[in-house]
Chains A and B, each alone.
Chain A
């Protein structure tokens, strides 16, 4: 798409400090503010395969940045993220310009499908994505648990997973994770990944893999070692996680609202921070 008002510049022409500043300015009045410093943005780019060469800044004729959008690329799939328009430069089609440029860049990289998430309640963005042909897939919950010891659980046998076993367990996943929870995203944290295997007295068993950064637990993925993961097994796995890290805050992004695991999280006092809507478009 061409625009008489803007040109698109690749994000790779900017430093992480500049990108973080532009992104924060574009989200200053966002429905759920999620500012990032340069380090956090750099980690985000690495962990979620954001292609800065395909990510876009819209620049006006006075060389002022009007907005930003980022593109993650994994094989033939693209993920649109960190989209924002600077408040004083809104209402001139900046968001649509950036979106069309990102979709064009995704196609140029051989992607056949694009996906994104929009926060429930952000009607302007949702309407734009509808207009561009994205269709709603599902609701995703962003949930949190403050530090604290978990409720007690019946006896179970726990084993820590080795770094070799964790990728093998994740390879058995049967869920349909969102982009940020895909196995590639989880493993990108490297040595910060931990995992447990649990066997209950009734013979059921399961595994959990999660990211344990210095201040926060995140990216919790659970699965079964045979058959469906039972609610009791999921609770036992969460018990292992929160017993091991009772003093750490936890944030889990993008649990499907219909997931049977949500009730297990609720049993451990997780609260919904906000809801996202996942959308897809065939390119």
Chain B
């Protein structure tokens, strides 16, 4: 079991992602915007952060930068979780030091496995 923070403002996507990850045995916290997400990440120091790049209060990239700049969360696994076109998503994820990208829409049969793949990496 891993601790995962999902930072996602779209309630439908967040619910679906959380349900699939809980079903796979993970402990999941959902944050609906960047500020709540940052607080959750700093408090919980999760095994993985799944973060939307388009958030209503602070840009997802800015949140990632803040996580990477904080000593206690610098090495967190971060996966961009986005509806950006694949090449843009990959480009942004690389620039901001993400461990990977999962593009929306969520593929229900594959999602937990995709996340598990990032959790397994050294």
Closest to B84 in A: A32
Contact B65 A147 (CB under 8 A): yes
Decide if the interface of chain A is mainly helix, strand, loop or mixed: loop
Contact A271 B92 (CB under 8 A): yes
Does chain A have a CB within 8 A of B113?
no
Interface size on A, residues (CB 8 A): 29
Contact B59 A40 (CB under 8 A): no
Q: How large, as a class, is the contact surface on chain B?
A: 20 to 34
The contact string, 1 if C-beta is below 8 Å from chain A, for chain B 3-44, is: 000000110000000000000000000000100000000000
Contact B56 A20 (CB under 8 A): yes
**Cα of A138 to Cα of B66 in the assembled complex, Å:** 34
Does chain A have a CB within 8 A of B54?
yes
**Cα of A269 to Cα of B94 in the assembled complex, Å:** 12
Within 8 A of A (CB), among B55-74: 55-59, 61-62, 64-66, 68-69
Contact A37 B56 (CB under 8 A): yes
Given contacts A35-B9, A39-B57, A146-B95, contact A273 B88 (CB under 8 A): yes
List 5 interface pairs A-B (beta carbons < 8 Å), by A numbering. Answer: A37-B33, A39-B57, A146-B97, A251-B59, A273-B88
**Known interface pairs A24-B56, A248-B65; 13 further A-B residue pairs with C-beta atoms within 8 A, sorted by A's residue number:** A29-B83, A33-B54, A36-B56, A37-B57, A39-B57, A40-B57, A145-B95, A146-B61, A146-B96, A146-B97, A249-B62, A271-B91, A274-B88
Which residues of B does A touch, CB under 8 Å? 9-10, 33, 52-59, 61-62, 64-66, 68-69, 82-85, 88, 91-92, 95-97
